[in-house]
Amino acid sequence: MSRATIWRILEGADLKPHRSAYWLNSHDPDFDRKAKEICQLYVNAPRLYQQGRLVFCGDEKTGMQILQRKYPTRLAVPGKPERREFEYVRHGTRCLLCSFCVATGEVVYDVRQTRTAQDWAEHLRHVVERYPGQRGYDWVVDNLNTHFSLAVCREVARWQGLVIDERELSSGAQRRAWLSDPTHEHVFHFTPIHGSWLNQVELFFSVLSRRLLERGDFAGAQEFERRLVAWLERYNREQAHPYRWTYTGEPLVRATPFSQGDRQRRCGRAWFGSRPQLFERLIHPPRPYHRRHKPLAANL
């Protein structure tokens, strides 16, 4: 068979054998309920913000390597991309503890060398001191054990003037249940197992990686922290904005053909690529990559 025949067969069956994608299965039995609860928080975040209640998404970005290129980077020139030296000198790592305010898009951060339970509790204290006098706080975090440690429970109890019996909070399940109590002023919402992508701070970490870390060339740890803090301050001052969240918490539809992905994405049930449909590509064909150059007057 010719290549054109194979292409027509695969296009008709909506198969793309040359493509592959990673997939992580969540075996959390309460995935749908937790996802809907978190997505509802994101939808109501602007209204809650007007009422004096803030929604935060918190997490750590660990293992940020401080790399210095052994030779200078060659800047981009016409016809050639930027070229970075392969060899580098490693100056250690840093950890970024970050909380993303869903309603405003601002971030509260702490740059540390470790990410222990005490570090996370101190970061939460920093967030509360940054936004004092609120009527309530909702925290969206993943299932890392430092996020529901005894140090966090002590800090939350101190903020609310509560007295806790540490013997009743000896297990992780007990601490998670106490932190998730909806009657408290500070309510923690834990993402489903293997569902940390529901945390909006991961979107901010992606922006940070693409704009600063991927092409970073740092002479040392002090320069890295200085440039990182300067970038974060500029982001809060000039670029902070709430993210548009399109996932509504509906269960993902399995075995969905690619041709139906756009319809389900519009309905908020799944996300797929934005490639136009076949009939759209036939009616409005893409522009050719190699454009025809107009003949010069000397060649006429």
Domains in the chain, please, with CATH?
Answer: 31-69+84-239 (3.30.420.10)
Closest CA relative to residue 265, chosen from 202, 27, 275:
275
pLDDT of residue 286: 58
pLDDT of residue 254: 46
- CA dist 54 and 41 (Å) reads 10
- CA dist 300 and 297 (Å) reads 5
Token duo for residue 288? 């050719």
Q: What is the mean pLDDT of residues 263-282?
A: 52
Question: How much is the CA Rg of the chain, to the nearest whole Å?
Answer: 25
What global pTM score does this model have? 0.77
Share of the chain above pLDDT 90, in %: 60
Closest CA relative to residue 108, chosen from 131, 135, 81:
131
Tell me the pLDDT of the chain averaged across its residues.
85
For residue 10, pLDDT beyond 70: yes
Taking residue 153's Cβ as centre, other Cβ atoms within 10 Å add up to 20
Which band of pLDDT confidence, cut at 50, 70 and 90, is reported for residue 119? Answer: very high
Compute CA distances 132 → 125, 129, 148, 159, 273, whole Å.
Answer: 10, 5, 22, 11, 42
Compute CA distances 166 → 65, 73, 94, 143, 149, whole Å.
Answer: 38, 55, 32, 20, 11
* 291 or 250, which is more confident: 250
- CA dist 299 and 296 (Å) reads 5
pLDDT of residue 1: 85
What is the secondary structure of the chain as a DSSP string? --HHHHHHHHHHTT--TT----------TTHHHHHHHHHHHHHHHHHHHHTTEEEEEEEEEEEEEEEEESSPPBPPBTTB--B--S-EEEEEEEEEEEEEETTT--EEEEEES---HHHHHHHHHHHHHHSTT-SEEEEEE-S-GGGG-HHHHHHHHHHHT----GGGG-SHHHHHHHHT-TTSSEEEEEPPTT-GGG-THHHHHHHHIIIIITT---SSHHHHHHHHHHHHHHIIIII---------SPPPPTT--GGGHHHHHHTTS-----PPPHHHHHHSPPPPSSPPPPPPGGG-
138-162 pLDDT per residue, tens: 999 999 999 999 999 999 999 999 9
- CA dist 177 and 169 (Å) reads 9
275-294 pLDDT per residue, tens: 565 655 666 665 554 555 55
Backbone CA torsion sign across 254, 260, 265, 269: negative
